[in-house]
């Protein structure tokens, strides 16, 4: 073999993911020259606490708490950002790209908001900015959407892209647990953060939907464009009724390219037990893609964690290393060349599952049907489930309808004395 090129890397951060990247690069050190024709060398690692970080590395001399040692080092060709957060991560990445360095990140928060700015800076300097690990951890989905499926007109990307909520819903489904108990278990096992808001309210998944939709449909979608609704209102009763209907409840990230524009949304959904996504349990993630040529494809695996995320990051590093070898960095820049409208959630069509507590006397079901009919909502089925004293519980499944018409009906129900409580509103999977 001819002389192997040495490619120097700087790692920004040595937390959970950063440590995983360090481990993977070290474990692959001997094989990398054969795999990519280059030796990958970690030259610098930026950390806050030098003493604490020293226990995690073989050679503490690579550690620094001075960004200038990295940005001013002309030998460093790849910067891996695993610090998280918006700043100083964005500043460091912009400066690295401007200085002619390639950048890899797992920072979904930043990519979902400022991805275009970073991609434009990379293109300006003919460098690579890659972020496979920003969505679904170790599952390859960014590269397939951007490259492998480029021969398709993609119409739909739907996925379970948050492991915490999927774990919670799995426990509620399999063990009959209520949300609070399942969340407590997820926290105890390390699946949920001390503050789980971003996960359980759908914000984490929303950022990932923004990224996937932008790439899949070649049109800019930001996190602010994504409708988000979490799982905090889902109960064991909802799960039980879903089972009776042959469905599972999953928190789904949905991106669709329709005639009316792009649908970008995250919310719980009843999905048929026969659908491949229904079988995705615990902390696993999966993304289901539909294209005109490929038809249906699904990507499945671990969506978070030290080593799965590191796997995606190192994959990007290897891609860049090959580009460096052949002098072709910056091959693929931002592909958002369209300017498609984003649909408002009230314009999106969906079927709905509605559970209500109503007075148990004749004429109530007819009144409910009348309200829906007056608002243009067709009912697929209406079932009286249980009685408790003077109250009865009913479940209504609607046909596909624009959200605004369903919401108008809910407002009327809320004002009707015969309706004691609107207990649950959950969308039902299906094409409009």
Phi-psi region of 65 (alpha: psi -120 to 50; beta: other; left: phi over 0): alpha
User: Is 140-300 the same fold as 3-136+304-324?
Assistant: no
Does domain 140-300 fall into CATH 3.30.450.40?
no
End-to-end CA distance of the chain: 58
Give the per-residue pLDDT at 394. Answer: 93
Q: For 27-38, what is the mean pLDDT?
A: 93
3-state class (DSSP) for residue 199: helix
Which residue ranges make up the annotated binding site? 12-19, 108, 193
Q: For 81-96, what is the mean pLDDT?
A: 96
Which residue ranges make up the annotated binding site for NADPH? 108
Which residue ranges make up the annotated binding site for L-homoserine? 193
Token pair of 296 as six digits = 């249906």
Phi-psi region of 301 (alpha: psi -120 to 50; beta: other; left: phi over 0): left
pLDDT (tens digit, 9 = 90+) per residue, 116-172?
999 999 999 999 999 999 998 899 999 999 999 999 999 999 999 999 999 999 999
**CA 145 – CA 119 distance, rounded (Å):** 16
Q: Give me the helices (H) in 28-162, please.
A: 32-36, 50-54, 68-71, 89-98, 108-124, 142-143
**CA 127 – CA 97 distance, rounded (Å):** 7
pLDDT (tens digit, 9 = 90+) per residue, 255-306?
999 999 999 999 999 999 999 999 999 999 999 999 999 999 999 999 888 9
Give the per-residue pLDDT at 333. Answer: 82
pLDDT (tens digit, 9 = 90+) per residue, 217-230?
999 999 999 999 99
pLDDT (tens digit, 9 = 90+) per residue, 304-321?
889 999 999 999 999 999
Cα-to-chain-centroid distance, residue 335: 20
Token pair of 372 as six digits = 């829906």
- Please, which residues bridge with residue 287 across strands? 159, 299
pLDDT band at residue 193 using 50, 70 and 90 as cut-offs: confident
Domain 3-136+304-324: which CATH class?
alpha beta
Q: Residues with catalytic annotation?
A: 208
Q: What is the residue-wise DSSP string for 21-32?
A: HHHHHHHTTTTH
What are the boundaries of each domain within the chain? 3-136+304-324, 140-300, 345-426
Pick the CATH number of 345-426 from 3.40.50.720, 3.30.450.20, 3.30.70.260, 3.90.190.20: 3.30.70.260
Sign of CA dihedral 180, 230, 281, 394: positive
Does residue 432 surpass a pLDDT of 70? no
**CA 22 – CA 77 distance, rounded (Å):** 17
For residue 261, which of 314, 302, 313, 225 has the smallest C-alpha distance? 225
């Amino acid at each position: 073999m001819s002389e192997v090129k040495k490619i120097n890397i700087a790692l920004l951060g040595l937390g959970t993911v950063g440590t995983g990247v360090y481990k993977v690069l070290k474990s692959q050190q001997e094989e990398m020259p054969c795999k990519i024709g280059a030796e990958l060398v970690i030259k610098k690692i930026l950390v806050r606490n030098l003493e604490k970080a020293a226990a995690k590395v073989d050679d503490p001399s690579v550690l620094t708490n001075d960004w200038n040692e990295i940005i001013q080092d002309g030998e460093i060709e790849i910067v891996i950002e695993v610090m998280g957060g918006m700043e100083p991560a964005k500043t460091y990445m912009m400066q690295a790209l401007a200085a002619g360095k390639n950048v890899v990140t797992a920072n979904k928060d930043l990519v979902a908001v400022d991805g275009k700015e970073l991609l434009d800076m990379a293109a300006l300097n003919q460098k690579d900015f890659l972020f496979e690990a920003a969505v679904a951890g170790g599952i390859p989905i960014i590269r397939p959407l951007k490259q492998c499926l480029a021969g398709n007109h993609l119409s739909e990307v739907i996925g379970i892209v948050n492991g915490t909520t999927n774990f919670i819903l799995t426990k509620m489904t399999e063990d009959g647990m209520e949300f609070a108990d399942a969340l407590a278990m997820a926290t105890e096992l390390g699946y949920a953060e001390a503050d789980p808001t971003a996960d359980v309210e759908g914000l984490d998944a929303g950022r990932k939907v923004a990224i996937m939709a932008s790439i899949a449909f070649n049109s800019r979608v930001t996190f602010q464009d994504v409708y988000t609704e979490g799982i905090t209102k889902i109960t064991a009763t909802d799960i039980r009724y879903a089972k009776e209907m042959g469905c599972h409840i999953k928190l789904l990230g949905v991106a669709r390219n329709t005639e009316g524009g792009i649908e970008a949304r995250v919310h719980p959904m009843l999905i048929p037990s026969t659908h491949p996504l229904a079988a995705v349990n615990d902390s696993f993630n999966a993304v289901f893609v539909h294209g005109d040529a490929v038809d249906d494809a699904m990507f499945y695996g671990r969506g978070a964690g030290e080593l799965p995320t590191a796997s995606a990051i190192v994959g990007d590093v290897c891609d860049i290393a090959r580009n460096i070898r052949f002098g072709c960095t910056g091959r693929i820049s931002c592909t958002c060349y369209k300017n498609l409208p984003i649909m408002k959630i009230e314009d999106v069509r969906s079927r709905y599952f509605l559970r209500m507590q109503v007075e148990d006397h004749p004429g109530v079901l007819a009144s409910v049907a009348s309200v829906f009919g007056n608002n243009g909502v067709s009912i697929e089925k209406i079932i009286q489930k249980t009685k408790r004293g003077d109250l009865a519980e009913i479940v209504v499944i609607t046909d596909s309808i624009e959200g605004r018409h369903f919401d108008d009906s809910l407002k009327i129900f809320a004002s009707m004395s015969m309706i004691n409580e609107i207990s649950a509103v959950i969308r039902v999977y299906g094409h409009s």
